[in-house]
């Protein structure tokens, strides 16, 4: 019996090994077959799609677009710990942003990833915190006083920018426009938003450590979404997390200084019985003083940084892409110029005026009502936003399991992301010329006709629709009305324009252009 058992054991072990080997081989064959015929990103055991998404992190928006162009309207990307669902389906977008808004908040996962930079500001919270901040901000944005104040500030800053460009163009060297636009919008948001003038657009163009470090921090927190071990890196203070920590320190020093300056000014204004400035930060400070619980400097810090990313970054990157498109589509620039010339038809020009005097005189014509009549300029900026949306993809949390209108199941705890960058390039939405820069698509008989937010969600839709949309257009149209009237832009040969992977569609190396004057 012992001898029989001794022979049976090896036979049994050998058989088991053969079965395991055959099973493994079959599993590999089936797995490879499924991956080869899979339309979406490849998924591997344990790693999911992490390898593919990491290798395409630098060009992620175009990587996502490549799958949508295969006919997919919705697909998933799995990385360890989370499932991302990406969609360009118009019905899905409306469902997420409006129809079932309550089930798709920013969510705990998004908040945790972005908290180091954005804290508990309006773009990083849900529920009562979000409602209270939005209520205060919406009151200010609806104020005619703020609109009129913004018009004056934006006009003055546009003149400063034009004067700087006029001086720089005399060297006949290429000008990097993204940095100038970041300065323009940072000055704008600090003056209009916080009542503080910081002078980044002064003629000397001083260094702006805040801006550089804010961009570095923005990039670092974006990387967290695809790096499952970022908490460990944060604890060890290495890699992107070390960059983030250093950058946020500089950002915080600047921000707390702004808060202290504004608190001091408000105390002085109150003691003198003077009228308060029309800025957002003052409104939030006074809101805290008039409530049961005052707002701490940390809370105000979060408010400031959230509005800076909205009021500085998004507007500046749109202006940068707009100049890039004008430099490669001179026929559009000429049409914008002709529209602006009509504003001067009944204006007397003194031939002895210098260029700076003519810039100031032309800018004086750019009232709020005059800007609202510049339909072609508005269409050209909107066409820029369609192709290069300031927020190229926007993730939402999932509170409960749900089924999107196209039948896609999304699970609680994951993220569902609509992708304006890809959606703006969908031929079924925009026609065969979807890839072309053609402002005329927005015009009917010369009048601008907007698209539905579900088709054009660059400014979101539903309860979270962008409060600052009109203010952003006001600043962009003011700046470009001045610049396009007096200057032509030509892209520097050999300069590669590519986006930087962060929350906004910033350019990696800006946009370098040669600037020449137009007839005055």
Per-residue model confidence (pLDDT) at position 130? 87
Per-residue pLDDT, averaged over 212-217, amounts to: 90
Q: Is the pLDDT of residue 505 over 70?
A: yes
Q: Is the pLDDT of residue 486 over 90?
A: yes
Q: Per the annotation, where are the binding residues for heme?
A: 466
Nearest to 198 by CA among 300, 318, 304: 304
Are 129 and 120 a contacting pair, CB within 8 Å? yes
Q: Per the annotation, where are the binding residues?
A: 466
In the block, residue with structure tokens 């937010």: 453
In a domain, 11, yes or no: no
Q: What is the dihedral of CA 135, 141, 146, 151, to 10 degrees?
A: 170
11 falls in which pLDDT band (50, 70, 90)? low
Per-residue pLDDT, averaged over 484-510, amounts to: 94
In a domain, 16, yes or no: no
Non-local (6+) Cβ contacts of 110 within 8 A are: 124, 395, 396, 397, 415
In a domain, 410, yes or no: no
The domain that holds 237 is classified in CATH as 1.10.630.10
Are 214 and 247 a contacting pair, CB within 8 Å? yes
Question: Residue 168 sits in which domain range?
Answer: 104-389+424-517
Our count of domains for the chain comes to 1
Are 445 and 287 a contacting pair, CB within 8 Å? no
In a domain, 57, yes or no: no
The continuous run of DSSP H or E covering 503 comes out as none
Distance CA 456, CA 389 (A): 10
292 falls in which pLDDT band (50, 70, 90)? low
Q: Which two tokens stand for residue 259?
A: 């808060």
> Structure pTM?
0.86
369-384 residue pLDDT tens: 999 999 999 999 999 9
In a domain, 74, yes or no: no
In a domain, 396, yes or no: no
Are 456 and 435 a contacting pair, CB within 8 Å? no
Q: At what angle do helices 239-272 and 297-308 cross, to 10 degrees?
A: 110
34-61 residue pLDDT tens: 555 556 788 778 777 777 877 888 899 9
Task: Report the Cα–Cα distance between both ends of the chain, in Å, rounded.
Answer: 110
Non-local (6+) Cβ contacts of 37 within 8 A are: none
Q: Is the pLDDT of residue 8 over 50?
A: no
In a domain, 7, yes or no: no
HSE (side-chain half, CA atoms, 13 Å) at 462:
14
Sign of the four-CA dihedral 503, 504, 505, 507: negative
Phi-psi region of 300 (alpha: psi -120 to 50; beta: other; left: phi over 0): alpha
CB atoms within 10 A of CB 127: 9
The continuous run of DSSP H or E covering 183 comes out as helix 177-194
Q: Which two tokens stand for residue 37?
A: 């015929």
Bridge partners, 82 (sequence order): 79
Q: Is the pLDDT of residue 202 over 60?
A: yes
In a domain, 111, yes or no: yes
Distance CA 150, CA 145 (A): 8
Are 439 and 376 a contacting pair, CB within 8 Å? yes
Per-residue model confidence (pLDDT) at position 240? 93
Pairing mode, strands 443-444 and 415-418:
unpaired
346 falls in which pLDDT band (50, 70, 90)? low
């Amino acid at each position: 019996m012992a001898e029989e058992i001794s022979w049976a054991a090896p036979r049994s072990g050998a058989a088991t090994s053969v079965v395991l080997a055959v099973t493994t081989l079959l599993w590999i064959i089936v797995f490879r077959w499924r991956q080869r015929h899979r339309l979406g990103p490849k998924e591997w055991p344990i790693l999911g799609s992490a390898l593919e998404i990491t290798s395409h992190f630098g060009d992620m928006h175009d990587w996502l677009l490549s799958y949508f162009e295969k006919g997919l309207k919705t697909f998933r990307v799995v990385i360890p710990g989370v499932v991302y669902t990406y969609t360009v389906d118009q019905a899905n977008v409306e469902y997420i942003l409006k129809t079932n808004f309550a089930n798709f908040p920013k969510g705990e996962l998004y908040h945790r990833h972005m908290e180091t930079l954005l804290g508990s500001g309006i773009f990083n919270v849900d529920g009562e915190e979000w409602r209270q901040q939005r209520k205060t901000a919406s009151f200010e944005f609806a104020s005619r006083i703020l609109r009129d104040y913004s018009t004056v500030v934006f006009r003055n800053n546009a003149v400063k920018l034009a004067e700087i460009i006029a001086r720089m163009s005399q060297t006949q060297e290429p000008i990097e426009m993204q940095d100038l636009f970041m300065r323009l919008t940072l000055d704008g948001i600090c003056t209009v938003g916080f009542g503080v003038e910081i002078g980044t657009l002064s003629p000397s163009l001083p260094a702006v450590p805040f801006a550089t470090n804010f961009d570095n921090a923005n990039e670092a927190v974006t990387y967290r979404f695809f790096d499952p071990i970022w908490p460990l890196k944060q604890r060890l203070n290495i890699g992107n997390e070390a960059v983030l920590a250093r950058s946020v320190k500089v950002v915080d020093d600047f921000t707390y200084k702004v808060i202290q300056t504004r608190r001091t000014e408000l105390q002085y204004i109150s003691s003198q019985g003077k009228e308060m400035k029309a800025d957002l930060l003052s409104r939030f400070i006074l809101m805290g003083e008039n409530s049961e619980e005052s707002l701490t400097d940390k809370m105000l810090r979060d408010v400031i940084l959230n509005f800076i990313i909205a009021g500085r970054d998004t507007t500046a990157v749109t202006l940068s892409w707009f100049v890039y498109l004008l430099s490669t589509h001179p026929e559009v620039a000429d049409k914008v110029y002709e529209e602006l010339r009509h504003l001067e038809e009944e204006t007397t020009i003194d031939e002895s005026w210098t260029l700076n005097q003519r810039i100031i005189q032309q800018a004086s014509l750019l009232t709020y009502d005059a800007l609202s009549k510049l339909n072609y300029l508005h269409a050209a900026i909107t066409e820029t936003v369609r192709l290069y949306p300031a927020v190229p993809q926007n993730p939402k949390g999932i509170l409960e399991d749900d089924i999107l209108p196209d039948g896609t199941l999304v699970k609680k705890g994951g993220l569902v992301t609509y992708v304006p960058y890809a959606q703006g390039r969908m031929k079924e939405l925009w026609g065969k010329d979807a890839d072309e820069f053609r402002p005329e698509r927005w015009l009917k008989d010369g009048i601008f006709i907007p698209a539905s937010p579900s088709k054009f969600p660059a400014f979101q839709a539903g309860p979270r629709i962008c409060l600052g949309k009109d203010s952003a257009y006001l600043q962009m149209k003011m700046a470009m009305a001045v610049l396009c009237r007096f200057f032509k832009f030509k892209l520097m040969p050999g300069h590669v324009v590519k986006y930087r992977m962060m929350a906004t569609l910033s350019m990696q190396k800006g946009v370098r252009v040669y600037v020449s004057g137009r007839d005055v």
